[in-house]
Amino acid sequence: MDMVSAKTNTNFLDSFAHSTVVSKDGTTIGYQSIGKGPSLILIHGALSTSNDFTKFARELSDSFRVHVMDRRGRGGSGPQGIDYSIKKECEDVRSLQEATGATYVFGHSYGGLVTLEAARTSTFKKMAVYEPGVSMKSIPTDWDWLPEYENDMNKKDFRGAFASFVRGSGHTPLKRLPKWYAKFILRLVIRGNHWNQIENLLPENLIEHREVKRLESTFPNYQMIDANVLLIAGGKSPDSVHQMIRVLDETISRTQTLIIPNLDHLAPDNKYAPVEVAQHVKRYFLS
């Protein structure tokens, strides 16, 4: 049985309460909570932790009790585990939902994929996902970067692995540049603590994108989602992302779609446009 940890810390300097739950397989899942109102779970993406979504959470906290989870393998949570799969992520979300009574959930990128997968067996009233990490065979995807990423990791060329991922994921213009040049640019713009976090999460990111590839034929299962779903994308994101949103809109029974002009894939992160995204999400959940 899932259990709520008795350990809860409140940091009065930043007003976030830090808590843990224990997932079905015994893994500790940490989360930060802020605000008052109906409970809302936020699920971050692949190279992120709960700390990257604090501005987003604060913007929602005047209307919701917001719980920003650390997905397994980062932050205040335990490791992914040797038998990692998306099912484990869904169990983590279910444990947090049982602990908090959340009826709303938001997921970004890989966290959006987790949100959609969890919704097949969880009872959320409303969900919002920003560019969920859903791959579809009907939308051509080049997975050649995945073995290249793995080879770079084996050689401990972590900058090379990151360049392989950024070019392969297709969310930035770096996809069109030679790898050596993309690697050079990324080294210039991503340094210090930001790079340290990315480097530490590169192994988890590799494992998670293997799951994305494995699941690329399963999106029709989202027909069974019984919640209302807001599908969000940035206007600057590539057409493949907008195609994916359109297919999800046709697959899930109760959806709304929203394209936010001038934003890209990373918008909900603290460093980009979390306030603008949060305003739309808040309006949707309160409507």
Joined tokens for residue 134 = 């859903």
Instruction: For residues 181 and 105, state if they share a domain.
Output: no
Q: Are residues 173 and 159 in the same domain?
A: yes
* Model confidence pLDDT, tens digit, residues 143-161: 999 999 999 999 999 999 9
- Read off the pLDDT band of 12 (50, 70, 90): very low
CATH number assigned to the domain comprising residue 34: 3.40.50.1820
pLDDT for res 14: 53
For the chain, the average pLDDT equals 93
Last residue of a domain, one of 162, 194, 213: 213
- 34 and 171 both lie in a single domain: no
> Are 103 and 169 part of one and the same domain?
no
Range of the domain at 194: 145-213
> How many domains would you assign to the chain?
2
**Is residue 181 exposed (0-12), middle (13-18) or buried (19+ Cβ within 10 Å)?**
exposed
- Last-in-domain residue among 165, 184, 213: 213
Question: Are 209 and 223 members of one domain?
Answer: no
- Per-residue confidence (pLDDT) for residue 121, from 0 to 100: 83
Rounded to the nearest 10°, the torsion over CA 143, 144, 145, 149 is: 110
**Is the pLDDT score of 142 beyond 90?**
no
150/257 same-domain check: no
- 17 and 96 part of one domain: yes
Pick from 213, 235, 252: which residue ends a domain?
213
pLDDT, residue 103, reads 96
193 and 247 housed in the same domain: no
Question: Are residues 125 and 247 located together in one domain of the fold?
Answer: yes
What's the predicted TM-score (pTM) here?
A: 0.93
207 lies in the same domain as 66: no
pLDDT (0 to 100) of residue 140 = 81
162 with 63, same domain? no
Regarding whether 77 and 7 lie in a shared domain, the answer is: yes
| Interval 203-211 mean pLDDT | 97
